[in-house]
Amino acid sequence: MTSTQSPRSHSAMGDLSEALKEATKEVHQQAEDTEFMRNFQKGQVSLHEFKLVMSSLYFVYDALEEEIERNKNHPGYAPVYFPAELHRKAALERDLEYFYGPQWRQEIPCPKATRKYVDRLHYVGQREPQLLVAHAYTRYLGDLSGGQVLKKIAQKALQLPTSGEGLAFFTFDGVSSATKFKQLYRARMDAIEMDDSTKGKVLEEAKKAFLLNVGVFEELQEIVSVSAKKNGHLIQEEPELHKRVHSAVPNGPGSAAHRDEKTGPSSRVSASGTSPLRWVVAAALLLVVAAVCMYAI
């Protein structure tokens, strides 16, 4: 890792890192308070919900990292360019293959609020690259902070393997100490040469980035609620998808998917399958009918 000794830019607005933390306090709370995040923190997350959020994050990081690569030499971004330590797209690809199987690209949904976030990332990357640092800050420092708590919760709630499969997104192999890395990242943000007017815009963009995340969580919550209502509170994955996940990774997500349906935290149960008891009762009835007929003859 590189040294934290970076030249600091001075301004009436103070260091960018401090200003960002202060400016986003309220929206951070708002993000934590979304129903989706509140449930998540209580361990109330089903496999269905987790797959949805991971899919949305894939689209977000795909766009974010495409724009970061485009701007890696831009003076407003270069000091915080840490692809080996931070980039998440490849990790999300591994997770999505684990959860959806090899055809995951055709399976994952991109809801409207996620599309809006993606569009904003491309707009910023292509038209206002000096604001890109606000988006990188919002996601990567978040992933290195609360994200580490969410990892443990997801692992426990979904009973994912302790080997880390399905949780690559939350695992930063290139970062040995999240705390130290965040210090380095803040120092690098503070080293970006920026006038106060641009700094003000970066702060506004960071708030916007948080609200885009809030929008994603709110829409996912809505999708989950609607599908729960439609199914009369029984979550049933498409049989084809379920079959494929089971056969693709026999000891992996298939078993998690299975548990999710039966003992998920929101007590979701499987509605599929015919109980063997029914067959026994039907056979006994047939025997009785046959016996009565024989007796009648």
Residue ranges in contact with ligand HEM by CB under 6 A: 20-21, 28, 31-32, 37, 41, 137-139, 141-142, 145-146, 149, 210, 213
For the chain, give the number of residues.
Answer: 297
Nearer CB in complex with ligand HEM: 154/245: 154
Nearer CB in complex with ligand HEM: 48/139: 139
> Which residue type sits at 64?
L
Give dist(CA 143, CA 137) in Å, integer: 10
The count of other CB atoms within 10 Å of the CB of residue 220 is 22
Nearer CB in complex with ligand HEM: 48/208: 208
Sign of CA dihedral 39, 261, 219, 125: positive
Give dist(CA 144, CA 140) in Å, integer: 6
Residue whose beta carbon is closest to ligand HEM: 146
Q: CB of 118 within 8 A of CB of 56?
A: no
Give dist(CA 275, CA 157) in Å, integer: 27
Minimum distance of ligand HEM from residue 86's CB (angstroms): 12
Listed in sequence order, the residues at least 6 apart from 136 whose beta carbon sits closer than 8 Å to its beta carbon are 64, 68, 77, 80, 86
Nearer CB in complex with ligand HEM: 111/146: 146
Minimum distance of ligand HEM from residue 114's CB (angstroms): 13
> Which residue type sits at 294?
M
Minimum distance of ligand HEM from residue 31's CB (angstroms): 4
Minimum distance of ligand HEM from residue 249's CB (angstroms): 28
Give, in order, the Cα–Cα distances in Å from 292 to each of 239, 279, 284, 295.
41, 20, 12, 5
Nearer CB in complex with ligand HEM: 37/160: 37
The count of other CB atoms within 10 Å of the CB of residue 69 is 12
Minimum distance of ligand HEM from residue 94's CB (angstroms): 21
Nearer CB in complex with ligand HEM: 183/263: 183
Minimum distance of ligand HEM from residue 157's CB (angstroms): 13
Phi first, then psi, for residue 126 (nearest 5°) are -95, -25
